[in-house]
Amino acid sequence: MTGTSSSIHLYLPEPRGFCAGVRRAIAIVEQALQQYGAPIYVRHEIVHNKHVIQSLKAKGAVFVEDLSAVPEGSVTIFSAHGVGQNVIAEAHTRHLQIIDATCPLVEKVHQQIIKYAAAQMSIIVIGKSSHPEIIGTIGQIQGYQDLHIINSLHDAETISVKHKNNIGFVTQTTLSVDDTQAIVDVLKSRFPNIHGLQKKDICYATTNRQKAIKAIAAQSECVLILGSQNSSNSKQLRDTALKNGAKLAFLIDDAGEISWDSLQGIQHIGISAGASAPEYLVDELIKTFQQRYDKINIHHVTVVKENVNFKI
Ligand code: SF4
């Protein structure tokens, strides 16, 4: 196939793709399959990526949204997003053999919110109420009354709490670093004694990938983010690219989803991948460009070197 231009520049920021929590969660499912044999049940998508899920399904993992779909006594893995205490209790009632693949950084947020509740604090959770991570986080303190989920500057400006001087916040790990900082700044100005991590709970991987995409956004006429539509950190990467100078940005599952019409006349393209997207998808994307264009100029832009691993 011939392209619309003979030459194109591809900007590849680093870090991109798999984070330590995702690598750990996938390895847990693979090891469980080896050790116990198929089927292994996984509550919710282990990580939010279509290709990862398809590959684990092919190896014998069965993904369910509700534990009622798991036969009594079966080996069951909780996804990297974490679960509430009610899910753990249900798993015990059904005598399931639990393996917990919750990311240690999400687990840290769980511990934090439990501490706040034990201290009878007003609790603010910054994040999307329908996201499984937030459901799991608030599920640590089921029934706690003085808890407020907010997700915008307006929410931060208008929220009223019971204990203005005894208040704490936690955040979802995969939000926009800049938007969340603005929300936290408003909360700090309204509630000067608010407790919370100085740098929010947004994880190192989300932070670094957003930093890296910012480094190439302005020179990219279009940015392609590999990741699934239900991946929060991948969506944030697309939005971060747009907010930082990219004229166009698309979130795509793989090279097959590229809208070539949108790339007509474009010669500078940024490519990154969300924390749950495997690197082979980036390789395939580059190969697709190589097949379409006469000359590909690849520019690697390393912003942060990551060396984070979580033990299983
Ligand atoms: S994005 Fe961050 S919090 Fe989520 S699994 Fe990866 S390291 Fe853990």
Q: How many residues does the chain have?
A: 312
Start-end of H helices in the chain: 20-36, 50-59, 85-93, 104-118, 132-138, 153-158, 177-190, 204-217, 232-243, 279-292
| Bridge partners, 64 (sequence order) | 43
**Cα 201 versus chain centre, distance:** 13
Query: Known catalytic residue: 133?
Result: yes
Kindly indicate whether the domain formed by 105-190 is annotated with CATH number 3.40.1010.20: yes
pLDDT at site 296: 96
- Are both 7-18+204-302 and 105-190 of the same fold? yes
Residue nearest to atom 7 of ligand 1 (CA): 21
- Answer for the pair 79, 42: CB distance below 8 angstroms, yes or no: yes
User: Measured in angstroms, how far is the CA atom of residue 103 from the centroid of ligand 1?
Assistant: 6
For the domain made up of 20-103, give the CATH fold.
Rossmann fold (3.40.50)
The residue extents of the domains of the chain are 7-18+204-302, 20-103, 105-190
Radius of gyration of the chain (CA): 21
pLDDT in the model for residue 199: 66
- Ligand 1 atom nearest to 206, measured from its CA: 1
pLDDT for position 198? 67
Atom of ligand 1 nearest to the CA of 233: 1
φ, ψ (nearest 5 deg) of residue 251: -100, 120
**Choosing from 133, 157, 279, 306, which is the catalytic residue?**
133
The rounded Cα 112 to chain-centroid distance in angstroms is 19
| Average pLDDT per block of 10 residues along the chain, 312 residues long | 69 98 98 98 98 98 97 98 98 98 97 98 98 98 97 98 96 95 96 85 95 98 98 97 98 98 96 98 98 96 96 93
Closest to 222 in 3D by CA, of 4, 2, 67, 64: 4
Q: Whose CA is nearest to atom 2 of ligand 1?
A: 203
Q: Whose CA is nearest to atom 6 of ligand 1?
A: 21
For residue 173, give the nearest of 121, 236, 256 by alpha carbon: 236
Distance separating alpha carbons of residues 254 and 261, to the nearest angstrom: 16
| pLDDT, position 6 | 80
Separation of 106 CA from ligand 1 center, angstroms? 7
State residue 107's pLDDT score: 97
Would you identify the CATH topology of the domain 7-18+204-302? Cobalt-precorrin-4 Transmethylase; domain 1 (3.40.1010)
Cα–Cα dist 97/109, whole Å: 24
